[in-house]
């Protein structure tokens, strides 16, 4: 089934770039903004970088989800969603859903406006809150990726 193998390769590449980007934002960009730059400049820097990453992440989320769904269908893995031992399958879908809703629905509808308003009032607190949020998302994503590789090959 070469199409399923291609889907797996696309899946892994999309996940590497996407979660890798979340790692960069969480572990490099946000700590730099919080520690090294005056708050107003930090907010502008973070927003400009995050906007560029979000534009790329949209494609990566679609490729990651599409290729994952393709594999579930081609390998007929649906019954895994009823088995607790395959928690990592549920985790993959949950992580995907969280990012999909954030980037495609919440961000354009209200998240961006909320961020700008809050950042104007309290830039330091907003950067701290955003950093905690990213740290939680990154941790859940990394645990999920670890569980998936362990589940497939372990």
User: Given the complex with ligand HEM, which of 6 and 124 has the nearer CB atom?
Assistant: 6
Among 19, 33, 127, 130, binds ligand HEM (CB under 6 A): 19
Residue 131: name the closest of 50, 38, 12 by CA: 50
Among 26, 29, 46, 68, binds ligand HEM (CB under 6 A): 68
Block residue for tokens 């399923």? 4
Closest distance to ligand HEM from the beta carbon of 23 (Å) = 11
Which residue in the shown chain puts its C-beta closest to ligand HEM?
A: 68
From the list 5-13, 27-35, 52-60, 110-118, the region that binds ligand HEM by CB under 6 A is 5-13
Instruction: Say whether residue 77 binds ligand HEM (CB under 6 A).
Output: yes
Closest distance to ligand HEM from the beta carbon of 77 (Å) = 5
User: Given the complex with ligand HEM, which of 110 and 150 has the nearer CB atom?
Assistant: 150
Instruction: Say whether residue 12 binds ligand HEM (CB under 6 A).
Output: yes
Instruction: Say whether residue 138 binds ligand HEM (CB under 6 A).
Output: no
119-127: Cβ within 8 A, 24+ apart:
119/43, 123/39, 123/40, 123/42, 123/43, 124/34, 124/39, 126/43, 127/30, 127/33, 127/34, 127/39, 127/42, 127/43, 127/46
Distance, in Å, from the CA atom of 32 to the CA atom of 42, rounded to the nearest integer, reads 8
Distance, in Å, from the CA atom of 154 to the CA atom of 149, rounded to the nearest integer, reads 7
Block residue for tokens 């090294």? 36
Q: Which residues bind ligand HEM (CB under 6 A)?
A: 8, 11-12, 15, 19, 64-65, 68-69, 71-72, 77, 92-93, 95-96, 141, 144-145, 148-149, 152-153
């Amino acid at each position: 089934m070469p199409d399923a193998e291609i889907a797996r390769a696309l899946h892994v590449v999309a996940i590497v770039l996407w979660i890798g980007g979340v790692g960069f934002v969480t572990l490099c960009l946000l700590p730099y903004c919080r520690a090294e730059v005056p708050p107003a400049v930090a907010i502008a820097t973070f927003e400009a970088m995050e906007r560029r990453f979000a534009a790329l992440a949209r494609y990566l989320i679609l490729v990651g989800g599409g290729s994952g769904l393709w594999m579930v269908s081609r390998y007929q893995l649906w019954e895994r969603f009823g088995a607790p031992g395959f928690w990592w399958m549920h985790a993959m879908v949950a992580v995907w859903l969280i990012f999909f809703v954030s980037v495609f629905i919440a961000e354009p509808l209200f998240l961006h406006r909320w961020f700008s308003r809050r950042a104007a009032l309290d830039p330091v607190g907003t950067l701290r809150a955003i950093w905690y949020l990213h740290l939680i998302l990154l941790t859940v994503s990394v645990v999920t990726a670890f569980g998936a590789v362990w589940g497939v090959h372990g």
